[in-house]
Amino acid sequence: MLQRVAVIGAGAAGLCVARHILSRLNSFAPPVVFELTDKVGGTWCYDERVGTYDNGLPLHSSMYRDLKTNLPKEVMMFPDYPFDPKLNSFLPHQEVQRYLEGYCQSYNILPHIRFNTVVESVKPVGMTTEDEEPRTTWKVTSSDSSGRQKTETFDSVFVCSGHYSHPHIPDIPGIENFKGKVLHSHAYRYAEPFSGQSVVVLGAKASGLDISIELAKVGAQVTLSHGRPRFTFPLPPGIQQSSPVVAVNEDGSIRFQDGSVGAADVLMFCTGYNFKYPFLDGAELGVKIQDQLVSPLYRFMMPPAFPSLFFIGICKMICPFPNFNCQVQFALAVLDSSVTLPSVAQMEDEVQRELKEKMEQGVQQRHLLVMEQNQWEYCQTLARIAGFPPLAPVVRSLYEEVWWQRRVHPENYRRLNYKLISDTQWELIE
């Protein structure tokens, strides 16, 4: 019997799952990919609208008009599908969208995608097979654009719905006193409307810094408010740094951690996103779904009690497409039994032990899924256990070079172009 697989989301992760299933049709039936919108690409699909779609559902993408990738295409690509070599290393989002559409065409994924379809619930169902082995199947209920509901049974489910859709807004006492405009970067599209305004940007990770630079270019006065060590590199004129916002006073002025007070026309939260899976019942799966953490997940992918449900790409601060590619190949090796998992109890222990170690090292709960330096060993381990080719060392080497460049030249690092020469070497192209 071929295994039936449901894939939730047709962004980069979901397309990667479909691509690998379609190359293993001796073990798997063609996948069914459920996509909320009418296009592939997920977060890379730019939509000028903010708020809700015509059907009243909240808009998924957080893409802004002038976003350029912060990783070069040489590192970003799926290892088996390079970008067009004529393109620059750092790309506008439209090129990544085009790349994903090409990936979709190349592997003939389109016929397997159901567009404008919402997954409403995913429920495990216990079954006993002929050899008395208890086995879980999954009831997936979805509805199409006309509201017709349908429930189908699958052998496994891949959750690829992304985690850049549900804004995380920290609690700021007195925020209701603020007289200006409050928004989250999820609803930011371009800088022009903020020209000449004073904007406090909360959060200085990738999008906080990028958006601040965009705002300064159109003549906004930007206060970049964050709790990280102060940036020592030169920021463009029009941007000043400040300590975190702690409250809004009754008169609408903003109070900062260092005791200073300031006024602003706009508060822009660049404070990241929450995990939300409205179609899953965490308690039923033995998984706690919190704003900033989903746990326990064995190898950051599967609930120990239900190892035929996979979350792809849930980790943060990773090289996304290569990471998805490793996770997907590992997951399919689990499903076709070429990888044998430890017992449920062992898997749970392993996850708890890892989390405990991180917390003892002082990692905050909201950073437990941040991989950064650990991503390379993680991908290596998945490749070793499942027996697929590991990531070429050049990916790490160039990733780390760019990471360093980005810290030193946040405005200009994207002007550089790179070329891969071998599995271990890259060069800078003048």
Does 88 have pLDDT greater than 60? Answer: yes
Helix (H) or strand (E) holding 153: strand 149-154
Interior/surface letters 241-264, b for 16+ CB within 10 angstroms, e for the rest: ebeebebbeeeebbbbeeeeeeeb
The first and second tokens of residue 369, run together, are 């899924």
- The confidence score (pLDDT) of residue 430 equals 78
DSSP sequence for 67-116: -B-SS-HHHHSBTTBPPPTTS-SS-BHHHHHHHHHHHHHHTT-GGGEE-S
Average pLDDT of span 219-231: 95
Q: Could you tell me the two tokens for 383? A: 């490749």
pLDDT value of residue 133: 63
Closest CA to 26 of 56, 1, 51: 1
Q: Is the pLDDT of residue 404 over 70?
A: yes
pLDDT tens string 14-37:
999 999 999 999 999 999 999 999
- How far is residue 294 from each of residues 288, 355, 368, measured CA to CA in Å? 6, 12, 9
The model's pTM is 0.96
Is the Cα dihedral 105, 107, 108, 114 positive or negative?
negative
DSSP type of residue 236: P
DSSP 235: P
What is the average per-residue pLDDT within 361-371?
92
Name the amino acid, one letter, at 106.
S
pLDDT per residue over 258-267, tens digit each? 999 999 999 9
pLDDT recorded at residue 265 = 97
Mean predicted confidence (pLDDT) in 304-316: 97
State yes or no: pLDDT of 233 exceeds 80. Answer: yes
Q: How far apart are CA 401 and CA 407, in angstroms?
A: 10
Average pLDDT over residues 399-405: 95
Q: Which of 9-13, 56-60, 209-213, 238-242 has the lowest mean pLDDT?
A: 56-60
Mean pLDDT over 220-227 rounds to 97
Q: Nearest to residue 392, comparing CAs of 420, 354, 351?
A: 420
Is 114 within 8 Å of 38 (Cβ atoms)?
Answer: no
**pLDDT score recorded for residue 127:** 67
Q: Tell me, what's the pLDDT at 393?
A: 97
Structure confidence by residue, pLDDT tens digits, 66-79 = 999 999 999 999 99
Q: 411 falls in which pLDDT band (50, 70, 90)? A: confident
Q: Is the pLDDT of residue 131 over 80?
A: no
Q: Is the pLDDT of residue 216 over 90?
A: yes
pLDDT of residue 251: 96
Express each pLDDT in 107-120 by its tens digit.
999 999 999 999 99
- Please say whether the beta carbons of 75 and 375 come within 8 A: no
Q: Are 5 and 158 in contact (CB under 8 A)?
A: yes
